[in-house]
Amino acid sequence: MEKRITQHCISLIEGIASRGSCDFVADFARLYPTTVFLELLGLPTERLEEFLAWEYAILHPPPSGSGRREAMGALTTCFTELIQDRRAHPREDLVSAATTFVVDGRPVTDDELLQLCILLFLAGLDTVAAHLSFTFWHLARHDSDRARLVAEPDVIPDAIEEFLRVYALVLPARKLTRDIDMHGCPMKAGDMVMLPLAMAARDPRTMPAASTIDIDRPPTRHLAFGAGPHRCLGAHLARLELQIALREWHARIPGYRISPDEQPVEHASLVLGLDALPLTW
């Protein structure tokens, strides 16, 4: 997929470069991985804005939850129709391949395929966009790190691992099965416990200056993609997309900063991210 992803990335950047400014989130970070993902699943890229609206309503609803149920219903209908179409008319895409899966010796059901598609949709659209936004937020404020990537693009893969570590995005939660007192904090069975991965990534007991980006830091273990049976299935694709984006952007827009009259806007829900990142160059 690298050649197609690179072509898509370059096209987006060249459409932005001459403008001298952009909202990095709206103009690049959300468009770039989403188009790649839609092509992978076999969804029509001309419906990009519609899919983005559903994704945002589901993952980042207002406190009232308004719009979330409607977006999930529309997404479910879309994938139900897609699964039926690919069973009848398979193509070269992930959903077509998934219709041939065998689970414990039996064919995969439509309900299982629907759950898979929805999970891939929610996990595959928001995370790369959010991580790109945090990475460029950092680089816009740290000239030496940005200059290093421009001058030595070979360091980008290792730099990405450091960005992934410090800006671990996911805030998983678990439900307690029994009462427990954890280090003086009493918790009851049924309580939900939030376990931000970034807290483990920035634990000062694991490495010096754990909350600081150091692109020369020796490779370290991190939980940005989870671990064990919950490890992210999209980790390899995400790394590829991040590497291509940092390489191609800095080859064309090497110097940029946060627009002086505007401020980035951050959100926190199941996945941390930015709503807006105004850049100028």
Per-residue model confidence as pLDDT tens digits over 43-72: 888 888 898 889 888 887 888 888 999 999
Report how far apart, in Å, the C-alpha atoms of 173 and of each of 165, 180, 190 are. Answer: 19, 16, 12
Total structural domains within the chain: 1
Range of the domain at 206: 2-280
pTM exceeds 0.85 for this model: yes
Task: Reply yes or no on whether the pLDDT at 223 is more than 80.
Answer: yes
| Stretch 250-262: mean pLDDT | 96
Asked whether residue 125 carries a pLDDT value surpassing 80, the answer given is no
pLDDT reported for residue 156: 97
Domain holding 12: CATH number? 1.10.630.10
259-279 average pLDDT score: 90
Cβ-based burial of 99 (10 A; exposed 0-12, middle 13-18, buried ≥19): middle
Q: Give the pLDDT confidence of 20-51 residue by residue, as tens digits.
A: 999 999 999 999 998 888 888 888 888 888 98
Q: Give the 3-state secondary structure of residue 178.
A: coil
Give the number of other CB atoms < 10 A from CB of residue 137: 19
Q: State which H helix or E strand residue 240 sits in.
A: helix 235-252
pLDDT of residue 121: 86
